Structure 1
């Protein structure tokens, strides 16, 4: 899961100021976590609480509580919360209930196919014993908001790649499974995407591209560079790519891990440590074990509504 956070931070300054430069500066004074990281933490908190309680249904009510709680604690992260999701979090009465066509009386899914479901799912890929269970819970995590088939598929595909990568599958096997199971075209080259890709916030316009960056990479750093230098929704592309690259390569350059950890609030570090302690020999355990957060680190709002 640290890989997802790293990708988010690395891509954060390029989300609205895209770069095509593969050799872009990895960090700047403005680099920070965005809503991608905040909601990644919410999903991880939910999934780990359900597992600890022996819960098998993975209820939406608890996930909603986790999402709303962390959003209220971090109401304006860098870049802000997107579109309808911001309404879902803070102004649910502004939504329409798709099942009735009337104003919502509580938070309800809004048939989104956006990439928000895929950006927040990385912990699910680490927590379960089977691919079937991984995909099932990933689908539940998406459907609380992104109940469109593409929104669910995007989350399931990312979680599935993480599961396959961490359990020893090779890139050819991963590619074949994702193409057959989810129908994504992973045959475009990164070079072509680097020249032609444009902003796309949909799952179907983000997840395959992020996976191609991973498939053509040689290590964690090159995966992040390929994702960000495609342009588009840079923080989310790199968040997804970083999550799967971490699981596959099982190695994060120390200078990258140290920088990102130094930016995170204590409660996010605690969730990362909890996952590292409880998941399957999570490869970032060595970075988080014994990490002492800087004293008096405070949350500073840097985002804006969008």
Structure 2
């Protein structure tokens, strides 16, 4: 069954927010045993900055049909909730944008002019990939534009490109097998550490052990794009038809759990649709904000 781009992107957004919200629960010490037993912690589950920023990506696409960088920066700043777990650099950037600062200069100046190579642009971009699923090159181009609003380092941009292309591929009712899936992603990811990591993930596509994959690829512990995106794409490619299995595979290895699960959730939900998200999980998850949908 084919779906229109708005529906695809909204499905992805729901899956992203659900992965983010449930994943974030395992940072609470009292809930860590639930991860070991693969059982659900008590709700409600509140999503973090991952989903909040993804809501802006979706809202801008729904309004304009493409990434309007100025509109995206404004939306990020207007809806920025400090208590959602933003990193210090983005907290400062969005506060200054609200005060009239120029986002292009602020984003470029991060980390002594290197720009951020964090995983923040990748964590929010899956709905964009779902939106542009009919054109992988355009998905990559629009993902780069969305990343540059906060992450100008080439690796930060590449992480967003990789996730967006993966989400676009996931919209195919008959997606490629994991190794071919990751090959297709690599066609659009520029050279650098993210590309290298995804190539390593491609080499591990036949390996069933998440622990082995994490040892080689990372799990977001350093919150960089290159130690987050490769493992998330490995987990998504191997579990594309099963949201629940994809989540537990991703979460079980620790690291930046809310972000890796947001990325995987957004990709997998593009494939399985809203009906493929566990009903009980959705009931426990904080609803998306009215301004976004």
Decide whether aligned partners of structure 1 residues 22 and 130 sit closer, same or farther in structure 2, where only a CA change above 3 A counts.
farther
Does the 8 A contact of 1:19 with 1:229 survive in 2? no
Give me the whole-angstrom Cα distance separating, in 2, the residues matched to 1:153 and 1:192. Answer: 24
Deviations 1:57-115 (A, max 9, x none): x33211111111111xx3422xx211200001114599xxxxxxxxx953331311100
Give the structure 1 partner of residue 281 of structure 2: 256
Give me the whole-angstrom Cα distance separating, in 2, the residues matched to 1:266 and 1:5. Answer: 11
2:118 counterpart of 1:114: yes
Give me the whole-angstrom Cα distance separating, in 2, the residues matched to 1:114 and 1:62. Answer: 22
2:234 counterpart of 1:230: no
Decide whether aligned partners of structure 1 residues 154 and 44 sit closer, same or farther in structure 2, where only a CA change above 3 A counts.
same
Structure 2: gaps spanning 5 or more residues: 1-11, 190-194
Does the 8 A contact of 1:39 with 1:120 survive in 2? yes
Does the 8 A contact of 2:214 with 2:231 survive in 1? no
Give me the whole-angstrom Cα distance separating, in 2, the residues matched to 1:244 and 1:93. Answer: 31
Decide whether aligned partners of structure 1 residues 267 and 229 sit closer, same or farther in structure 2, where only a CA change above 3 A counts.
same
| TM-score normalized with structure 1 length | 0.74
Cα deviation, residue 220, structure 1: 0.7
Give me the whole-angstrom Cα distance separating, in 1, the residues matched to 2:289 and 2:153. Answer: 34
Structure 1: gaps spanning 5 or more residues: 95-103, 272-306
Structure with greater helix share of residues? 2
Give the structure 1 partner of residue 59 of structure 2: 45
Task: Select the residue among 178, 186, 192 that pairs with 2:185.
Answer: 178
Q: Bigger radius of gyration, 1 or 2?
A: 1
Give the structure 1 partner of residue 48 of structure 2: 34
Cα deviation, residue 233, structure 1: 0.4
